[in-house]
Amino acid sequence: MDMIKVLVVDDSVFMRRLISRLITEDPTLEVIGTARNGLEAVTMVKELKPDVVTLDIEMPEMNGLVALTKIMEQRPTPILMLSSLTQEGASATITALQNGAVDFISKPSGSNSFDLFKVKEELILKIKQAAQIPLRNLIINNIIVTKINVERKESAPPRVIKNFDQVIALGTSTGGPKALETVITALPADFPYPMLVVQHMPPKFTKSLADRLNRLSGVRVVEAEDNQPILGGTVYIAPGDYHMIAVKTNKGFVIRLHQEPQVNGHRPAADVLFDSISQLKTLKRHFILMTGMGSDGARGMLSAKQAGAQSTIAESKESCIVYGMPKSAVELGCVDHIVPLHLITTKIMEVTRARNG
């Protein structure tokens, strides 16, 4: 088996040594170089041709976001961002994920051995996952995603649609932030139905994701809150570390959040959301699975299909950063439509018969 070659980029000598040590404790991983800033990183990626890059965000001379863009332009490579657990760090990480990074790792919070052990496991796992991503899919994703630089005017009030007869539930994981941007920003401003989304991601990051998508989209995008009324024309992102379900009350449909045990190793979990949406028999229910590691959502989609789902959609292998979750659903035989990322919104408009444009 070939060694996985990793380039470590961080402006801190301590962090470069620590990350390198954690990586090389796995016999299948090799650190082939370290860089002190984005400028060095861009040059070393071209010279050393690593399989995976770990990239810090805040660095002198050239920061990680600029370096990420240049690397993806010059020599597309799977990149894992090293993120601080601050709100600013979360926001920058979301930007990086939507600009081509495949995943992120939170920096160790100190020299506490338990913190380092947790980070080591995650770091090694994500490096190995990133190394398996087909380069073709990495390049296709960067071509597919149209950069949307014009932020929606804050003066445009969100549309409040209380009466709707359809609902969309969507699950995604690795590669999801970029995929969600492609799908949600393409929805027309007058899209009349609610969409509930599970993106596997820790707290803070889901809020930053929702805020960014809200700025870029015609529809309203929010991080879901407990007991929040569900309205048409709104996308609800499940908050990190909370399962999200939808229930029918005498006042209408409402979101409930809870912290019951993880499902498929996740909280939020797509299966939990899908199971709750399946119960809303008075609505036409649509289910979508996009890029992600593992099988979360596949069982829920099968149950939804058996419970009379109006449609089930899976992202096709050709555009997935990781073809895990959609593949699991396809293998269960519960998918009506298999479509590439850039056509998922078109398919949503088609199955809901919402107005195109």
Point out the residues that are catalytic: 173, 200, 296
d(C-alpha 246, C-alpha 251), whole Å: 13
The gap between the terminal CA atoms of the chain, to the nearest Å, is: 50
Q: What is the DSSP string of 38-72?
A: HHHHHHHHHHH--SEEEEESS-SSS-HHHHHHHHH
For residue 268, whether the previous peptide bond is cis, meaning omega lies within 30 degrees of 0, is yes
Map tokens 């932030």 to a residue: 177
d(C-alpha 273, C-alpha 260), whole Å: 13
Is there a contact between 294 and 327 (Cβ–Cβ < 8 Å)?
Answer: no
| DSSP character at residue 101 | -
d(C-alpha 254, C-alpha 227), whole Å: 6
d(C-alpha 336, C-alpha 310), whole Å: 10
| DSSP character at residue 338 | E
Cα 317 to Cα 195, 289, 329, distances in angstroms: 23, 12, 12
Cα 301 to Cα 227, 254, 313, distances in angstroms: 24, 21, 9
Query: CA torsion 95→291→241→224, rounded to 10°?
Result: 70
Cα 100 to Cα 179, 181, 234, 338, distances in angstroms: 11, 12, 26, 23
HSE-CB of 151 using CA atoms within 13 angstroms = 8
Element at 74 (helix H, strand E): helix 64-74
